[in-house]
Amino acid sequence: MTKQPRILVTGAGGFIGHHLVKRLKAEGNWVRGVDVKLPEYESSAADEFDVLDLRKYDNCLEATRGGIEQVYNLAADMGGIGYITASHADISRNNILINAHMLEASRLNGIDRFLFSSSACVYAGYRQTSADVSPLREEDAYPADPEPGYGWEKLFTEELCRYYRRDYKFETRIVRFHNVYGPLGTYEGGKEKAPAAISRKVALAQDGGEIEIWGDGDQTRSFMYVDDCVEGLVRLMASEYHEPLNLTIN
Q: Give all strands of the β-sheet with 70-73 in edge-to-edge order.
A: 48-51, 30-35, 6-10, 70-73, 113-119, 171-177, 245-246
Structure confidence at residue 205 (pLDDT): 86
Pick from 117, 116, 234, 114: nearest CA to 169:
114
Structure confidence at residue 130 (pLDDT): 58
Confidence of residue 187 (pLDDT cuts 50, 70, 90): low
Confidence of residue 250 (pLDDT cuts 50, 70, 90): low
Confidence of residue 223 (pLDDT cuts 50, 70, 90): confident
Confidence of residue 58 (pLDDT cuts 50, 70, 90): very high
The total number of residues written for the chain in this structure: 250
- What is the average pLDDT across 30-43? 95
Domains and CATH numbers, the chain: 6-181+219-246 (3.40.50.720)
Structure confidence at residue 40 (pLDDT): 87
Least confident window among 59-63, 191-195, 242-246: 191-195
Pick from 69, 77, 146, 145: nearest CA to 113:
69
Write the pLDDT tens digit of every residue in 121-165: 999 877 655 555 567 889 999 999 999 999 999 999 999 999 999
Q: How far apart are the first and last CA of the chain?
A: 37
Dihedral (CA of 100, 103, 107, 109) sign = positive
**Mean pLDDT over each residue of the chain, to the nearest integer:** 89
Q: What angle do CA 123, 104, 4 make, to 5 degrees?
A: 90
Catalytic residues: 150
Percent of the chain whose pLDDT exceeds 90:
66
